[in-house]
Amino acid sequence: MHDSNPFETFCAAVCAQVRFRPDRAAIQAELLDHLQDHVGALKERGLPVLDARAEAVAAMGDPVELGKSLDQLHSPLAGWLLAVLKWTSQLAAAAAIYFLILFLGRDLPDLLDPAYPITSRGVLYYQRGMEETENTVLLQPTATARTEDYTLSIPYAVLNTWEDGQRTLSYLLKVTHWNPWYRDPEIDAWISAQDDLGNVYVDGGSSAESGRLADTCRSWGNPLTDYPFISYYDMQVTGLDPGAAQVILTLQPFGVRECTLTLSLEGGEPS
């Protein structure tokens, strides 16, 4: 009499010997494939299906012996150890990705393009000071200048006229660079200013043409903050000629003129 499902009986007998349960399904699938392939081959030779099934099972040998041999190779200790290792590494990878997303999600925009530091003390100081005097003009700088390594722009500039008629230009200089090793260059020391009337403003120097005092007519500044790809500088030009309508800023690292930025002192809105 034929077994109603000899394949299942055979596979169950093999798998019963395999102590590491998670591997049983794969073993059963592989053995079933083998049995079905064998039956297919026997049917092609003209054997009736039921006989072919019985022969395929018989050709496999003793299921208990086979199961015991497989059990030796699928030992529960190694199997569970490997499974735990796999789960742990998957969990660690998932946690790493989660924290990376969390970290980058919060810091990446700042890293690539931090909002200019409007809250920084220097810029706020000038803005607040000018509001108090009510002689403040918020300029609308648009110029951008490029050197081989840096791109310079002025996101924010204000012109303040003091009670004694002295004019001070304060501006935020943004310097972008794609090489993080170039961060925080000494831009503040490399910039000099000249107005459209020909007056030159340098740090610690004076304009020969106007004969104005060295300590009042200056172009100077300080590094404000720097990010891997962007550095900001808090810059000033003091003692501006009352007739000047434009300031031309020149970047001259080591005396070599690299680029210029033109800033109009008119056309802004009162703050």
Partner 1 sequence: MKADKNLLSGSTTLLVLSLLAAGDKYGYEMIAELDARSDHTFTLTLKEGTLYPILHGLEKDGAVNSYTREASTGRTRKYYHITRKGLRRLEEQKREWTAFSQKVNAILSALSPAEGEALSGPASS
- Enumerate binding residues for partner 1 (CB under 8 A): 14, 26-27, 29-31, 33-34, 36-38, 40-41, 59-63, 65-66, 69-70, 72-74
At closest approach, how far in Å is the CB of 4 from partner 1? Answer: 21
Count Cα atoms within 13 angstroms, Cβ side, for 2. 14
Q: Which is nearer to partner 1, 65 or 209 (CB)?
A: 65
Q: Which is nearer to partner 1, 65 or 215 (CB)?
A: 65
Whether 155 contacts 171, CB under 8 Å: no
- Read out DSSP for 114-150? PPP-TTSHHHHHHHHHHHHHT-EEEE----EEE-SS-
Q: Which is nearer to partner 1, 73 or 97 (CB)?
A: 73
Q: Which residues, listed in sequence order, are joined to residue 169 by a DSSP beta bridge? A: 159, 237
Length of the chain: 271
At closest approach, how far in Å is the CB of 93 from partner 1? Answer: 22
Cα distance between residue 19 and residue 185, in whole Å = 67
At closest approach, how far in Å is the CB of 11 from partner 1? Answer: 11
Q: Which is nearer to partner 1, 37 or 215 (CB)?
A: 37
At closest approach, how far in Å is the CB of 118 from partner 1? Answer: 58
Whether 145 contacts 152, CB under 8 Å: yes
